[in-house]
A and B are shown apart, each in its own frame.
Chain A
Amino acid sequence: MKALASAAVSGILFGVGLALSGMLNPAKVIGFLDFFGNWDPSLAFVMGGGVVVAFVGFSRITRREQPVCEASFNIPQQKDITPNLIIGSGIFGIGWGLVGLCPGPAFSSLSFGRWESMVFFAALIAGMVIYRFTYNISGFKLPRVAEDG
């Protein structure tokens, strides 16, 4: 029960943070990515603030034996910079630049109840399923360690 409560608190805080930060506005995201135009650097502060907080807390928390509600931490162990990592991230960036929504905001935008958000969300899930399917049929196996994120 406690584990579900903390997951809920984390998700809600995350959603509030996205709303406050401006990440739920694709026009603003594209303004941030428009490096060679009328650049709006605001969203660099989102990543800056998030990274600093995560950096300060991460080592303190993982120094503990185990998380409060579970038996162990589930931290990514993979170290190699693989072609999949770079090509996949590159493909993600193209989609992000096209529309201005990444996965977190794609979920939070569902709260607006707009058809655009729902179309994008459905396509995103379809993209995940398609990857899963091609991964299964290609027989290309990655070690099943914890995902990076």
Chain B
Amino acid sequence: MENFTPVASLLGGMLIGIAALVLLAFNGHIAGVTGVARGVLTPKQNDTLWRVVFLLGLVVGPFVFQAVSGETIVSTITSSTLTLVIGGLLVGFGTSMGNGCTSGHGICGLGRVSKRSLAATGAFMATAIVTVYMMRHVLGGAS
């Protein structure tokens, strides 16, 4: 529990919720990163630019955080290149097939009390927990 950060995580989560409400109130869209990104890959007229701007905002956000807080963001990745490739493929394929990810189903979907999103969140949490269990405690930290 030495890394327990409930306050920062709660505030960060609330900011993500506020971000989602801004996009809903002004643009009328659900702030699911999968859905927003997928719309860029299958462009429709007058429906691409806001998506690109939102996604660029995601990249700018960490710089803003560092500028405001003066903190350096810790990001430790221990995966091998092969795991990064396999993991990325599974995340891209799975979120497309399941119509959403942690933001679209997990935050926006649960926030609007969608049964589909509850089922999806249960499914991805379950397989993620089993995967980490296998990697850490069965295969012995292989990554």
Residues of B within 8 A of A87 (CB): 97-98
Query: How far in angstroms is the closest Cβ of chain B from A46?
Result: 4
A11 vs B32: C-alpha distance in the bound complex, in angstroms?
11
Cα–Cα, bound, A110→B137 (Å): 30
Residue numbers of A with Cβ under 8 A of B are 2-4, 6-28, 30-31, 33-38, 40-55, 57-59, 61-62, 64, 66-70, 72-76, 78-81, 84-104, 106-112, 114, 116-117, 119-132, 135, 146-149
> Is the beta-carbon distance between B116 and A79 smaller than 8 angstroms?
yes
Interface bits B88-123 vs A (CB < 8 Å: 1, else 0): 111111111111111111111111111111011101
Query: Can you add 13 more A-B contacts, CB < 8 Å, to A108-B58, A111-B63, A148-B109?
Result: A16-B61, A18-B16, A20-B8, A26-B75, A49-B17, A58-B24, A86-B119, A90-B126, A91-B127, A93-B128, A102-B91, A123-B88, A149-B34
Give residues 46-63 of B contacting A (CB, 8 Å): 49-51, 53-63
List residues of B (62-98) whose CB comes within 8 Å of A's CBs: 62-66, 68-69, 73-79, 81, 83-98
Q: Which residues of A contact B42 (CB under 8 A)?
A: 132
**B residues neighboring A (CB under 8 Å):** 1, 3-6, 8-35, 37-39, 41-42, 49-51, 53-66, 68-69, 73-79, 81, 83-117, 119-121, 123-133, 135-137, 143
CB-CB under 8 A from A10, the residues of chain B are: 19-20, 22-23, 26-27, 31, 54, 57
Say whether B13 contacts A50, CB under 8 Å. yes
Q: Which of chain A's residues has its CB closest to B1's CB?
A: A40
What is the bound-complex CA distance between A97 and B77, given in angstroms? 12
- Chain B residue with Cβ nearest A121: B88
Kindly provide the distance from the CB of B18 to the nearest chain A CB, expressed in whole angstroms. Answer: 6
In angstroms, Cα B66 to Cα A114, docked, is 17
Is the beta-carbon distance between B24 and A24 smaller than 8 angstroms?
A: no
For B111, list chain A residues within 8 Å (CB): 50-55, 57-58
- Are A19 and B12 in touch, CB under 8 angstroms? yes
- 15 CB contacts below 8 A, A to B, read A3-B50, A9-B19, A9-B22, A10-B23, A17-B19, A23-B12, A46-B9, A52-B14, A54-B112, A84-B99, A104-B103, A111-B61, A129-B41, A147-B39, A149-B99
In the complex, A126 Cα to B93 Cα: how many Å? 8
